[in-house]
């Protein structure tokens, strides 16, 4: 689920955490209603993704320490992993 407050976007997998963030003022931008294999970020090229999508993909692939990386650094790491 993608949540947004002001100019901050967060990808949240846990429903309980999402509920708490909504109470804190975040709004739902997008829900993950597609089956896991049909997620758009898997079909979208890495160079076309934004930082939020790249971080979500890195997390999904089990990569750690990526939250401090820039968009270009994230893209480079993800391309090496594939």
Instruction: Write out pLDDT tens, residues 26-61.
Output: 888 877 644 444 444 446 788 888 988 898 888 888
User: Are the beta carbons of 3 and 22 closer than 8 angstroms?
Assistant: yes
Predicted TM-score (pTM) of this structure: 0.49
What is d(CA 34, CA 70) in angstroms, rounded to the nearest whole number?
28
Q: Could you report the per-residue pLDDT of 56-81, keeping only the tens digit for each?
A: 888 888 888 888 889 999 899 888 88
CA dihedral 38, 22, 59, 75 (to 10 degrees): 80
Q: Specify the pLDDT at position 19.
A: 86
Question: What tokens were used for 63?
Answer: 């990569």
């Amino acid at each position: 689920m993608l949540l947004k407050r002001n100019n901050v976007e967060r990808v949240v997998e846990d429903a309980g955490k999402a509920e708490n963030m909504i109470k804190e003022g975040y709004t739902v931008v997008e829900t993950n209603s597609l089956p896991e294999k049909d997620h758009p970020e898997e079909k979208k090229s890495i160079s076309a993704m934004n930082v939020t999508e790249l971080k979500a993909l890195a997390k999904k692939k089990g990569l750690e320490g990526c939250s401090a990386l820039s968009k270009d650094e994230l893209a480079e790491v993800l391309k090496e992993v594939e």
